[in-house]
Structure 1
Amino acid sequence: MMKLADMTVTGFADTVASDAPAPGGGSCAALYGSIGAALTAMVGGLTQGRKKYAEYAEHAAEVEKKGNELKTRLLDVMDRDTEAFNVVSAAFGMPKATDEEKAARSAAIQEGLKGCTKTPMEMMELIDETLTLAQSLLGRFNDTSASDLGVAFLSLKAGIQGAWLNVLINVGSLKDQKFAAEYRAKGEALLAHALPLADECYAEIVKLIEG
């Protein structure tokens, strides 16, 4: 199957709208994250080469570079999230006529669910990192791109919350309670940092645009 990241926007949206269970919310959450990272890189780029913002040029160049790297990593995890889902689907399709087959199927499902928990957690970590990067532009970026940076904060917030829902839905089916508790705690800590940050940054942008 074609990589999600290589699809046209229309192709991706149509595939999401189809009755195929994946790509779904998890892949979309990663896409929101990558769009947020792309917008962050764009604002970094638009801040360079302007006399008015010359003192911020070096930092803006660093943000552009990092933003592009994070965008690429989020697009990669978007595809791996769908692959992880396909592993679970295949496990559910395994034979279950004998006790041995039932045990093997159950183990494969559990292993697959762990994979489906790891990819959205990776999204959360990458999006949290991107939020911190985008925040670092506040007060030192090209003001004409304020709305673009605002959309970055909104996309990143939606992305990290969407990824969290995908962590939650998978840990709920895990038998390994230690693994489940570890991922819940990790996710909650990331949200505790990211959500207030995204809201504060968005509010700053609104204030800036309203003057």
Structure 2
Amino acid sequence: MFKEMTVQEFIEKLASDAPTPGGGTAAAIMGAMGAGLFKMTIDITAKKVDDDLLSSIGESMKGAYEEFLVLADKDAEAFDEYMKAKAMPKSTEEEKAVRKQALKAARIKSIEAPMQTLERSLEVLQAFDMIKDKISKYVLSDVIGGASALKSAAKIAYANVKINVAGKEAYAHYMENANKLMADASKLANAIIDFAMERM
């Protein structure tokens, strides 16, 4: 869906008053940009450094940004499903029960989609952290760009999890997990940024 759009088409759609794409989709796109920048720094470095771990993590970055693009669609689809559930009829008790179940299922999807973006953002940061000291000094600004994009992806995804949980006790376990993931992602992104800044 979104990956078939031009950059301009996507931004115009994002800027419109349409319910989707929204923050969750933007988070996933930011994640894809971060993984893409990391892959570029690895590929440039690998031209002069023969290292199996470097090559392996470089390949994993391609898989990561492709997964983020899937998550961009998944987030929008989850929100669309929630809006459809909200619009379901509720005149009879039976209709109310069906609508309630549909809303519950859609809410869970709307929580889990950005949660996956948050999880994946941390995983990409963890993978890159393993090889950050091997990266060429000529692409350190791109390392900072990648880490910053992934930190933003994590933060936006975290905010989407939080607003979709909306303080409901039944979904509190999602926030417990999200709080830890966000703290870890922020700490690691900052460490990578600081490391790159010091080497510049």
- Please, what TM-score do these two structures have when normalized by structure 2? 0.96
Structure 1 residue ranges without an equivalent (≥5): none
Q: Percent identity?
A: 30
Question: What is the root-mean-square deviation of aligned Cα atoms in Å?
Answer: 1.2
Structure 1 residues 149-179: Cα deviation after superposition (integer angstroms, max 9, x where no partner): 11000000000010000100111164xx34x
User: In the alignment, does 2:88 pair up with 1:94?
Assistant: yes
Q: Equivalents in 2 of 1:134, 1:149: separation in Å? A: 9
Task: Tell me which residue corresponds to 2:3.
Answer: 5
Q: What are the within-5 Å matches in structure 2 for residues 165-204 of structure 1? A: 165-172=159-166, 174=168, 177-178=169-170, 180-204=171-195
| Number of equivalent positions | 200
Is contact 1:134-1:153 (8 Å) kept? no
Q: Equivalents in 2 of 1:30, 1:173: separation in Å? A: 24
Task: Tell me which residue corresponds to 1:82.
Answer: 76
Structure 2 residue ranges without an equivalent (≥5): none
Is contact 1:25-1:166 (8 Å) kept? yes
Task: Tell me which residue corresponds to 2:130.
Answer: 136
User: In the alignment, does 2:144 pair up with 1:146?
Assistant: no
Is contact 1:40-1:63 (8 Å) kept? no
Task: Tell me which residue corresponds to 2:157.
Answer: 163
Cα displacement (A) at 1:103: 2.2
Q: Equivalents in 1 of 2:181, 2:124: separation in Å? A: 12
Q: Which moved more, 1:102-111 or 1:34-43?
A: 102-111
**Structure 1 segments of 4 or more deviating over 4 A?**
none
Q: Equivalents in 2 of 1:187, 1:35: separation in Å? A: 21
- Please, what TM-score do these two structures have when normalized by structure 1? 0.91
1:23 to 7, 21, 24: 21
Cα displacement (A) at 1:63: 1.7
